[in-house]
Copies of this chain bind each other. A is one copy, B any other.
Amino acid sequence: MTSENFYAGKKILITGGLGFIGSTLAIRLLELGAQVTLLDGLIADLGANYFNIKSIKDRVEVVEAGLGDRPLVDPLVKGRELVFNIGMHSCHLKSMTDPLFDLQTNVLPQIQFLESLRFHNPQARVIYIGTRAQFGQALTIPITENTPPNPKDIYAASKQAVEWYHLLYQKICGLEVTSLRLGNTYGPRHQMRHAQYGVQNFLIRQALEDQEIKIFGDGSQKREMIYIDDIVSCLLLLGEKTQCVDQVYCVGSAESITFLELVEAIIRACGSGRYVHVPWPEDRKSIEVGDVVTDFSKLTAHTGWKPTTLLAEGLLKTADFYRKNRQYYW
């Protein structure tokens, strides 16, 4: 659990603040009394959505700018006690069809953002959001922090490089970095317009619309689904614990399920939808990573964090949110 008062009055910057994770984190931080600024580049097809922050819009500062916009970002990083750096795209497929998009969205602005920090807040505490995709087709099962990176797409290779850049800025200027390599995260406030990333969230839309969900192959690959509130709790703990500085963490779920079981659970939670098995499309197959099984005992040992939301419960909350707010996400 986060200490009662740790976040009260803290000046915090969240990049990607209008997106799924950034906005949910901001809502929780305001409940804890923090002063929150959201930086967001509103890049097309990503998750930025003003409806995400409807309940807090009068209590947060929002700055619309890319992370690499030095004239705007330099003054913004000054004096922040904590930075949650979440503002990146996560489109695996697009990174393979347009690697330059990946570089210009996830790599170049990140180095520019790190330069802003270096010259205007060099010892800031920064929580970087990495991805389980950095492990790619995992070279060890279960995955731990010692599993070597093995990216299967440009997106994942870049995320690994940017994680290293972050950690190396500790040597460059003293930045205090923690990286959390996120797995599949689901819940309210995710973008629902397309399946280019966060496919598990898109399945919920398909089920709510009573569509036929396509399962590639037999759907027997193992998956871990983490509810957004559990990720927010985790980020808050990482921001608080000084022993997490200069560390990388994996995160996982309490329940291990197959992709097929996930689809069945989504259909149950939504009360609608069907599924059909189809062959793997080539582009998906080439970036498919196989079973995902994570040992997150280091995270638990360092922070006390454990996931507390069961899949059935999280899916019900998620389906309920989108049923009510469909017009803002479809």
Interface residues, chain A, with chain B CB atoms under 8 Å away: 96-97, 99-100, 103, 107-108, 111-112, 114-115, 148-149, 151-154, 157-158, 160-161, 164-165, 168, 171-172, 286-287
Contacts and interface: CB of A to CB of B under 8 A. Distances in A.
Contacts of A107: 103, 107, 161
A241 B27 CA distance: 58
| Copies of this subunit | 2
Contacts of A160: 160-161, 164
A108 B111 contact: no
Contact of A99 (B97, B151, B153, B172): B172
B96 A115 contact: no
Chain A binding surface, main DSSP class: helix
A168 B136 CA distance: 12
B148 A148 contact: yes
Given A96-B171, A171-B96, A149 B151 contact: no
A149 B148 CA distance: 7
Interface centre among A111, A161, A165 (most CB of B within 10 A): A161
Nearest to A148: B148
Interface centre among A115, A165, A168 (most CB of B within 10 A): A168
Nearest to A155: B168
Nearest to A158: B161
Nearest to A96: B172
15 contacts: A99-B111, A99-B115, A100-B111, A100-B112, A103-B107, A107-B107, A108-B108, A148-B148, A148-B149, A157-B161, A157-B165, A160-B160, A160-B164, A161-B161, A171-B286
Contacts of A100: 111-112, 115
Contacts of A157: 161, 164-165, 168
Contacts of A171: 96, 153, 286-287
Nearest to A97: B172
Contact of A96 (B99, B108, B111, B168): B168
